[in-house]
Amino acid sequence: MRIYLSRPDITEKEIEAVCAVLRSPDLSLGPKLVEFELSFAKYIGTKRAVAVNSGTSGLFLCMLALGISHGDEVITCPFTFIASATSIMMAGAKPVFADIDPVSLNIDPAKIESKITNRTKAILPVEVFGNPTGLDKVCSIAQKYHLNVIEDSCEALGSALNGKKVGTFGTMSVFGFYPNKQITTGEGGMILTDDDNLADICVSLRNQGRALKRPKTQDPRLKTNESWLLHDRLGYNFRLSDINCALGIVQLSRIEQTKAKRRQVAQWYREMLADDDRLIVPVEPDDCDISWFVFVVRLANRFSPQQRDRILQAMKNTDIQVGNYFPPVHLQPFMVERFGYKCGDFPIAESVSERTIALPFYNNLTKDQIATVCRTLRKVLDSVCCIS
């Protein structure tokens, strides 16, 4: 039987909540939007939360709200999902990469300062696979150079560093709700900040640049008193419907249970794979409370990238879905073409990404399924080791 890489965890409660919105007249910009934003801000501990239709649009709006545009640079991680970097480019700015820490797989704080120029406007750290390691150090550097921090927290809902929740470190932070995430709204994202002005700009930007409040003096040529048809700025339709928000509210109410289930899955994997010296298995540092997003093991350095690819294929042949999170961002074809990045620019990110195997990981994965995955992986490793 197929074992999937990820599966959402949707209960009757979520289905009922979505159906209740469908029976109401408020499918968008209604009470569920307000409720989702308030409960999310309360859970994370920020003053404001602004719901949007994806993590990517959330990151893009952070760039715009912070005035990041053409000619600016934002320092980020080369080992992440593509949107961490493309959201910078969407605003017209350049993603400048600093190599990663080989253990946490997050941007290495020690490599950031040498990348700062007079064009640098912000640092965008990512809690890769949910791990918040190094976030505090990134923030100290940003403070020293008066830079904003945009936390890409899309993979880390519920994680904390030294008891401080992810999403509260940056000037702004963004979570994502694609179905493989800790909570899902189908598609969706949330921008968090303590800054009312930045939040208000995002509220306007996500809704066609609409005016938040009617201006005191209104040009009579507009011939309307409706703020609905007044537009303050170039905006977008990045709204999240009340249908999505209703789903998100129930999912968020179960976050601690979700965290515990995923922690158990990670624990079973660790117990079953820890003794295999062909694999590097992720650990949870003492100062971190990781809300597990995925379970990514790495092959020991003696394995070649070709061997990794053969292992991925062999696993897929047995109907166990696996992934290669993440190919290095700077080596994506359009990045190479646009910025001239090349192999060897960020050797740790490149070496790690050539050896990763993302194993099936979701709330309701059973111990038996995990045992099947681990047994199959060991067999595949045996065979790849034999023929190489």
Ligand X SMILES: Cc1ncc(COP(=O)(O)O)c(C=O)c1O
Residue 159 interacts with ligand X (CB under 6 A): yes or no = no
Q: How far is the CB of 266 from ligand X (least distance, A)?
A: 17
Q: In what order do the strands lie in the sheet with 73-76?
A: 48-52, 189-193, 172-176, 148-152, 120-124, 73-76, 94-97
Mask for 162-201, x = binds ligand X (CB under 6 A)? --------------x-x----------x------------
Candidates 136-144, 152-160, 229-237, 330-338; binding stretch for ligand X (CB under 6 A): 152-160
DSSP string for residues in 198-249 = HHHHHHHHTBTTB-SS--SS--GGG----GGG-BSS---B----HHHHHHHH
Would you say 76 and 93 are in contact if contact means Cβ atoms under 8 Å apart? no
Q: Which of 65, 93, 139, 154 binds ligand X (CB under 6 A)?
A: 154
Residue 56 interacts with ligand X (CB under 6 A): yes or no = yes
Residue 248 interacts with ligand X (CB under 6 A): yes or no = no
Residue 55 interacts with ligand X (CB under 6 A): yes or no = yes
Q: What is the dihedral of CA 108, 109, 110, 114, to 10 degrees?
A: 100
Based on C-alpha coordinates, what's the Rg of the chain?
22
Total number of residues that touch ligand X (CB under 6 A): 14
Candidates 52-60, 191-199, 248-256, 376-384; binding stretch for ligand X (CB under 6 A): 52-60
Mask for 10-29, x = binds ligand X (CB under 6 A)? --------------------
Candidates 75-83, 109-117, 242-250, 252-260; binding stretch for ligand X (CB under 6 A): 75-83
Q: Which of 17, 33, 107, 126 binds ligand X (CB under 6 A)?
A: 126
| Residue 47 burial (C-beta neighbours within 10 Å; 0-12, 13-18, 19+) | exposed
Token match 């320092």: residue? 75
Give, in degrees to the nearest 5, the angle at Cα 43 between 42 and 49.
55
Give 59's DSSP letter.
Answer: H
Q: How far is the CB of 294 from ligand X (least distance, A)?
A: 9
Would you say 383 and 315 are in contact if contact means Cβ atoms under 8 Å apart? no
Give, in degrees to the nearest 5, the angle at Cα 129 between 286 and 177.
125
Q: Which of residues 80-99 bind ligand X (CB under 6 A)?
A: 80-81, 83-84
Residue nearest to ligand X (CB): 55
Choice between 73 and 155, CB closer to ligand X: 155
Residue ranges in contact with ligand X by CB under 6 A: 54-56, 80-81, 83-84, 126, 152, 154-155, 176, 178, 189
